[in-house]
Homo-oligomer: A and B are copies of this chain.
Amino acid sequence: MAWQALTPPGEDFSKWYNEVVYRADLADQSPVRGSIIVKPYGYELWENIKAGLDRRFKATGHQNAYFPLFIPESFLKREAEHVEGFSPELAVVTIGGGKVLEEPYIVRPTSETIIMDAFHNWIQSYRDLPLLLNQWANVVRWEMRTRPFLRTLEFLWQEGHTAHATFEEAEAETLQMLDVYADFAVNDGAIPVIKGRKSDQERFAGALHTYTIEAMMGDKRALQSGTSHNLGQNFAKAFDIQYLDRNNERQYCWTTSWGLSWRILGGVVMTHGDDKGLRLPPKLAPYQVVIVPIFKNDDEQGVVIETATRISRELASSGIRVHLDKREDLSPGFKYNYWELRGVPVRVEVGPKDIEKGSVVAARRDIPGRDGKQFLSQENLAAQLSALLDEIQTNMLRQATEFRDANLHDVKNYDELKQVVQQGGFARGWWAGSPDDEAHIKGETSATHRCFPFDQPDGTGACLFTGKPADKIAIFAKAY
């Protein structure tokens, strides 16, 4: 088999991204416009993402449930902003069991409406609060321009939906779940993120506040990686979700929702990938270690495969996700490229000389070439590799953070903003502009208001666009 080099990410990032996604077996194109097939390697990565999030959701008191795929059309119309936001993107079922339906069903673009209807039925008193649910599901949004994982017609995600007695509790939940997302992105995904609040223009349709985690991709664009919404009483009023408080008085609930999709998988690819392909953080990698046996003849093959098999079993029993690549018709060099493309954090090479010396060669994916190679004793190998995987996880976060920080620039005026956007990167500066000003910037530079970061300087300054006094800084960038 011949090996074809990837388009270098520096040359055409978008082309590089598509090549990596398809050639590293994360996904395949499908005959359904804008929908992808997630192949086993990509799906296992998604399963690891799910597990990391699900554990955190349960640790913060949430339970999973499952609501219908179909939503009666009338439900979507009950919250005015919500229906306006989603109408252009809907897939509509008009025929069921061979008959035209009296009321069409919408394939859920998100489940606020059908879940809020259930909350209306389930919540009677303050004793029923807070109600903390999450759903893992597929949703459909009729996007016109799609890209694998980043924007697809159908996508897999989770959506949390909670109800609370007070604004303060709802706000605390909204922020807690943003922290959960950030903790996952940083510690499992090795993706540094900026937590912040969306501008009114970028709010979720029907929300009071939308909070976001924003990450910088390898091409210096922003990726909105997860959002958490304080929905105020908008949905509670639209769906009549009331509870009796301790004084036996009826009150409307305060609700939240928060969602993170397989877009984060695209974020992992675009944060860490390089000219050889994927680089997966050890905590999420389907295989953390791949073993490549090296031999020249049948005699060598026997002893090498025997040792490699023993090592593979030892690592697996220590909880390391390991794969032994025993394919016979492929050269070691081919296998190195193959697994580098697929981003396996550590490659272990086992050859006759290693067996003589009781060692193996471990090659790190995060440090290219000789610098990333070292001999490890076969004795106590699992513990050494576990430590190495931890080091790689930490190093990948450091690399990504340094890259992000080097491309995050403070700007004082619109010219500086334009310059940053043109050269690539995040532009951060004082902001007191209007929605129209945001639209103007977007029209001229393609950059959007990403967020008002939580991390704010003291004092005030002059708005980078209007020059008016501003008490908050904002970040602008081109985004996915």
Q: Residue A340 at the B interface, CB < 8 A?
A: no
Asked if A156 is at the interface (CB within 8 A of a chain B CB), the reply is yes
Q: Which of A71, A91, A140 has the most CB of B within 10 A?
A: A91
User: A143: nearest residue on chain B (CB-CB)?
Assistant: B97
Are A31 and B95 touching (Cβ within 8 A)? no
How far is B47's CA from A108's CA once the two chains are assembled, in angstroms? 22
A83 at the interface (CB under 8 A from B): no
* CB nearest neighbor in B for A134: B40
Which residues of chain B are within 8 angstroms of A144 by Cβ–Cβ distance? 97
A64 within 8 A of B: yes
Report A44-88 residues with CB < 8 Å from chain B CB. 44, 46-47, 63-72, 75, 87-88
Task: Please determine whether B88 and A64 come into contact, CB atoms closer than 8 angstroms.
Answer: no
> Could you tell me if B66 and A156 are in contact, using CB atoms closer than 8 angstroms?
yes
B87 touches A98 (CB 8 A): yes
A140 CB contacts on chain B under 8 angstroms: 69-70
Interface status of A94 (Cβ within 8 A of chain B): yes
Indicate whether A219 reaches chain B with its CB closer than 8 angstroms.
Answer: no
Q: Is the CB of B37 within 8 A of A69?
A: no
Interface residue stretch chosen among A114-122, A249-257, A426-434: A114-122
Residue A399 at the B interface, CB < 8 A? no
Partner of A94, one of B65, B92, B122: B92
Over the window 6-38 of chain A, the binary record of Cβ atoms lying under 8 Å from chain B Cβ atoms (1 yes, 0 no) is 000000000000000000000010111001111
What residues of B have a CB within 8 angstroms of the CB of A138 in the complex?
69, 137-138
Give the Cβ gap from A39 to chain B, nearest Cβ, in Å. Answer: 6
Q: Does A439 belong to the interface (CB within 8 Å)? A: no
A122 contact set on B, CB distance < 8 A: 28
Verify B72–A32 contact, CB threshold 8 A.
Answer: yes
Closest B residue, CB atoms, query A35: B68
Is A178 at the interface (CB under 8 A from chain B)?
no
Bound Cα distance A105, B107 (Å): 12
A155 to chain B, nearest CB (A): 10
Residue-wise, chain A 109-146 has the 8 Å CB interface mask toward B (1 for contact) of 00000100110011000000000010001101010100
Query: Shortest beta-carbon distance, A334 to chain B, in Å?
Result: 14
The answer to whether A68 touches B37 (Cβ under 8 A) is yes
Partner of A72, one of B28, B31, B43, B89: B31
Q: Which residues of B contact A92 (CB under 8 A)?
A: 93-96
> Which B residues are in CB contact (< 8 Å) with A88?
97-98
User: Is A214 positioned at the interface, with any CB of B under 8 Å from its CB?
Assistant: no
Contacts A95-B94, A144-B97: A39 and B68 contacting too (C-beta < 8 A)? Answer: no
Residue among B38, B63, B89, B96 making CB contact with A66, cutoff 8 Å: B38
A35→B121 contact, CB < 8 A:
no
A128 to B40, CA, bound (A): 14
A154 within 8 A of B: yes
Say yes or no: is A90 at the interface (Cβ < 8 Å to chain B): yes
Complex: chain B residue closest to A32, CB-CB: B68
Known: A31-B72, A32-B71, A118-B28. A65 touches B43 (CB 8 A): yes
Contact of B94 with A154 in the complex, beta carbons under 8 Å: no
Q: Residues of B contacting A154 with CB < 8 Å? A: 68-70
- Nearest-neighbour CB distance to chain B for A291, whole angstroms, equals 19
Closest 8 CB pairs of A and B: A97-B142, A40-B63, A35-B68, A92-B95, A38-B66, A32-B68, A94-B94, A96-B142
Given contacts A35-B69, A43-B66, A69-B107, 4 further A-B contacts (CB under 8 A): A32-B68, A36-B68, A90-B98, A94-B94
Binding site for B on A (CB under 8 A): 28, 30-32, 35-40, 43-44, 46-47, 63-72, 75, 87-98, 104-105, 107, 114, 117-118, 121-122, 133, 137-138, 140, 142, 144, 153-154, 156
Q: List 14 A-B contacts (CB under 8 A).
A: A32-B71, A36-B68, A38-B65, A43-B63, A43-B65, A43-B66, A66-B156, A69-B107, A69-B138, A91-B96, A92-B96, A97-B142, A97-B144, A98-B142
